[in-house]
Amino acid sequence: MKIDGTPGSLNRNRQLLIAQTAWQGSDERQALWIMQCMPCGHMYGVDAPDFFQRKCPACQGGPPGLVVKPDAPATPPGSSS
Ligand SMILES: [Zn+2]
């Protein structure tokens, strides 16, 4: 199977890429991608570069997923007003 990081791709740990987003991942240089574990159905966010090696945080002992916050402001909390 080709793994090219497009939605619908599975990585080697059977984690499905649901969508690529423009939301910020764990830092401002990373885009957040949404993934779903095929074995258990758990959905979580990851930094884009982590996709290829990501393990499910629920059933494969991977690190906790990033929180997916589509309504989050683009600026960090406390930086405005
Ligand atoms: Zn899982």
C-alpha 53 to ligand 1 mean position (Å): 14
pLDDT of 1 reads 44
Closest CA to 60 of 36, 37, 43: 37
pLDDT of 75 reads 60
Q: Which residue has the higher pLDDT, 59 or 6?
A: 59
Asked whether the whole model's pTM tops 0.85, one would answer no
Q: Where are the domains of the chain?
A: 1-70
Q: How many CB atoms neighbour CB 58 within 10 A?
A: 16
pLDDT of 78 reads 60
Closest CA to 72 of 21, 23, 18, 20: 23
C-alpha 33 to ligand 1 mean position (Å): 16
How far, in Å, CA of 65 to CA of 7, rounded?
Answer: 18
C-alpha 36 to ligand 1 mean position (Å): 8
Contact 10, 1 (CB under 8 A): yes
Q: Identify the bridge partners of residue 76 per DSSP, sorted by sequence position.
A: none
C-alpha 12 to ligand 1 mean position (Å): 13
Does 77 have pLDDT greater than 80? no
C-alpha 39 to ligand 1 mean position (Å): 5
pLDDT of 13 reads 97
pLDDT of 76 reads 56
